[in-house]
């Protein structure tokens, strides 16, 4: 896992401006603490920061197919899990390899198959290939969007990078935010393409972009489709079991220590059990996988059920670790560490955005930092809720009937940042959400003669997989890579996603609750208490000291930056939340304050030009 960046211009010669691509590359140092490199050509420059995971000695980048007069040069981030099979196929076609890395497999795969190499890759990745023969750039992003990739136009070409901050290091790109960008940010519709930053675009998941002297073209090489499902219940459960087993075991290759995130839910427990079993098969019966959970110093005494959390995670995680036989550790955080301004600034800096989930972002960032002391790769259960209908909104009649994005119903107006009235009139967030929702439903594929229930559930799952999941993957990528930790997400295997998306609702919910198929497929892998536990979201602290500290930070934030915050936020509407007794703050009210604080930190760090 790494950070990539680059600059292509048919009007300029990057070899005369090496300092530009070097500066772009340096912004991604936290993503790649183990090495840095740049390649310069007459019309292209590629940069790379490396987090060494496979072939520690041989995988340096940018990578050229040969030292002199290369045909193609690659800057690559991610993991291709089927690279051994592809390498064998390429060897039979006459290719010779200098390294063991999956990076070289991708490069030589391009030389053999051209752009269609993307159809053969299984994994998470974002990469750029400069074809010197054709003077042509290829940008590629994985099917589910696990790895990020941004780009923007410059004179005679474009710049790209794993994060927007890499683009801002180019002299032609200014961190500027207009009304459209704020609409994307505060609308919480989680689209792909336009971003918070004016002129900066995100390459969609499952897409590729090419640039040559004839122009720029973007196309989808993968997207969800509706397919008839012919398997009965038993066959469906067995197929799910086989797919989950295959993808979990395929994602364990690493030349560095690997661990698992174990929350005590069914998703992470299944992956941890399969990974631990594979480790014992490879290294012997005494081998033990490390596993990690997060907890708060007040959680055992102060846990309070809310709309997202049904129970205290840590005991379930410990039970699951004991059942599987892992070396389990719980990272315990206190209010002081969560409120530490340095930690909060680091989180906002790595997000490049004022929109997050407050203490849950800070705690995840700190958890990843602790994990990185012992491991470089971690497995995570992200995407199982989207694939197997784990969220309440799939099952609650009011949410199913609602004509809006279902996640907007979870906390309602409590968590929304109240905008300054003039800005609110300009942005017209409700209309933007309604228009975007209508467009999102129009993109959902359907089968003929679907029942109304089937039709609606396919819509909800498509929204979850193409929008809600994307912001979760962004969060996981930014916060983990900021600590130099690679997080793999086996449930994002595209074959598993395709199969689950095509499975009828009656099978997805055959036992009358969430994750019916995964629960059935996981029999024997998890303790019964975990197997039948209700869905529980990522934990949050309940300590009044945190709430009061947050209120103080929010008061300071409102007065920061010569009134800029008050130019965006309706301070009068926030005041009631600031005056609420700390012990009475709801999670939604608290999230509102978190976003006010993060807005001030974002303005302070990024210094954006606001053109509203």
Using CB atoms within 10 Å of the CB of residue 450, give its burial: 0 to 12 exposed, 13 to 18 middle, 19+ buried.
middle
Element containing residue 130 per DSSP (H, E): strand 123-131
Determine the 3-state secondary structure of 511 from DSSP.
coil
In the residue annotation, 2 being an active-site residue is answered as yes
Closest CA to 24 of 44, 10, 54: 44
How many residues are given for the chain?
612
Backbone angles phi, psi at 452, to 5 degrees: -55, -40
How far apart CA 80 and CA 73 sit, in angstroms, is 18
Structural tokens at position 286: 């005494």
Establish whether the linkage from the previous residue to 62 is cis, with ω within 30° of 0: yes
My answer on whether omega of the bond before 405 falls inside 30° of 0, hence cis, is no
Going by C-beta distance under 8 Å and a sequence separation of 6 or more, which residues neighbour residue 4? 28, 46, 47, 48, 75, 76, 77, 126, 127, 128, 149, 160, 161, 162
For 346, residues 6+ apart whose C-beta sits below 8 A from its C-beta are 365, 482
Please give the DSSP secondary-structure letter assigned to residue 207.
Answer: E
What backbone phi and psi angles, to 5 degrees, belong to 368? -65, -35
With the CA atoms of 611, 473, 383 and 246 taken in that order, what torsion angle do they form, in degrees rounded to the nearest 10? Answer: 150
DSSP secondary-structure letter at 302? H
> What single DSSP character describes residue 229?
-
CA distance 517 to 239: 10
Three-state DSSP string of 427-481: HCHHHHHHHHHHHHHHCCCCCCCCCHHHHHHHHHHHHHHHHHHHHHHHHHHHHHH
Q: Which member of 2, 38, 350, 492 is catalytic?
A: 2
H or E element that contains 24? helix 18-26
Q: How many CB atoms lie within 10 A of CB 59?
A: 22
Q: How far apart, in whole angstroms, are the C-alpha atoms of residue 319 and residue 324?
A: 9
The CA distance from 489 to 248, in Å, is 9
Kindly report the number of other CB atoms within 10 A of residue 322's CB atom: 11
Q: Which residue in 122, 152, 179, 112 sits closest to 24, CA to CA? A: 152
How many Cβ atoms sit within 10 Å of the Cβ of residue 252?
A: 18
Active site residues: 2
């Amino acid at each position: 896992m790494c950070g990539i960046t680059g600059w292509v211009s048919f009007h300029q010669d990057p070899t005369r401006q090496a300092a530009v691509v070097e500066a772009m590359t340096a912004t991604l140092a936290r993503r790649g603490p183990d090495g840095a490199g740049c390649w310069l050509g007459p019309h292209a420059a590629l940069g790379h920061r490396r987090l060494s995971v496979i072939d520690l000695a041989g995988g340096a980048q940018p990578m050229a197919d040969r030292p002199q007069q290369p045909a193609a040069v690659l800057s690559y981030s991610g993991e291709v899990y089927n690279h051994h099979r592809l390498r064998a196929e390429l060897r039979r076609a006459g290719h010779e390899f200098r390294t063991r890395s999956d990076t070289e497999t991708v490069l030589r795969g391009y030389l053999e198959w051209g752009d269609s190499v993307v159809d053969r890759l299984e994994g998470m990745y974002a990469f750029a290939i400069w074809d010197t023969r054709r003077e042509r750039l290829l940008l590629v992003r994985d099917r589910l969007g696990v790895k990020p990739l941004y780009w923007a136009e410059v004179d005679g070409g474009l710049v790209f990078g794993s994060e927007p901050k890499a683009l801002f290091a180019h002299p032609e790109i200014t961190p500027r935010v207009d009304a459209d960008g704020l609409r994307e940010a505060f609308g919480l519709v989680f689209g792909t393409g336009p971003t918070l930053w004016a002129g900066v675009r995100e390459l969609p998941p499952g897409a590729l972009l090419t640039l040559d002297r004839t122009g720029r073209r973007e196309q989808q090489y993968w997207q969800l489709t509706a397919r008839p499902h012919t398997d009965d219940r038993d066959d469906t459960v067995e197929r799910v079991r086989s797919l989950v087993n295959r993808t979990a075991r395929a994602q364990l290759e690493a030349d560095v220590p690997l661990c698992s995130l174990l929350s005590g839910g069914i998703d992470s427990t299944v992956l941890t059990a399969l990974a631990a079993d594979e480790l014992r098969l490879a290294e012997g019966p005494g081998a033990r996988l490390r596993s990690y959970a997060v907890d708060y110093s007040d959680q055992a005494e102060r846990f309070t059920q809310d709309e997202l959390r049904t129970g205290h995670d840590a005991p379930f995680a410990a039970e699951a670790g004991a059942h599987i036989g892992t070396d389990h550790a719980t990272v315990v955080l206190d209010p002081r560490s969560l409120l530490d301004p340095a930690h909060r600034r680091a989180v906002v800096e790595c997000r490049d955005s004022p929109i997050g989930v407050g203490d849950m972002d800070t705690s995840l960032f700190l958890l990843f930092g602790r994990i990185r002391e012992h491991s470089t790769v971690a497995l995570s259960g992200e995407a199982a809720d989207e694939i197997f209908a784990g969220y309440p909104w799939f099952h609650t009649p009011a949410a199913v009937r609602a004509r809006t994005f279902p996640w907007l119903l979870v906390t309602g107006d409590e968590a929304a940042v109240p905008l300054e009235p003039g800005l609110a009139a300009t942005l017209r967030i409700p209309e933007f959400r309604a228009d975007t929702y209508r467009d999102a439903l129009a993109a959902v594929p359907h089968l003929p003669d679907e029942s109304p229930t089937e039709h609606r559930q396919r819509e909800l799952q498509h929204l979850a997989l193409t929008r809600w999941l994307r912001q979760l993957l962004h969060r996981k990528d930014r916060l983990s890579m900021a600590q130099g930790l690679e997080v793999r997400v086996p449930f994002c295997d595209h074959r598993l996603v395709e199969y689950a998306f095509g499975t009828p609702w009656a099978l997805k919910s055959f036992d009358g609750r969430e994750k019916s198929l995964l629960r059935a497929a996981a029999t024997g892998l998890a303790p019964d208490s975990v197997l039948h536990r209700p869905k529980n979201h990522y934990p949050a602290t309940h300590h009044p000291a945190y709430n009061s500290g947050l209120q103080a930070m929010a008061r300071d934030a409102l007065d920061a930056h010569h009134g800029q915050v008050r130019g965006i936020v309706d301070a009068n509407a926030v005041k009631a939340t600031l005056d609420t007794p700390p012990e009475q703050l709801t999670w939604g009210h608290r999230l509102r304050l978190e976003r006010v604080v993060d807005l001030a930190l974002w303005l302070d760090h990024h210094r954006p030009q606001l053109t509203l």
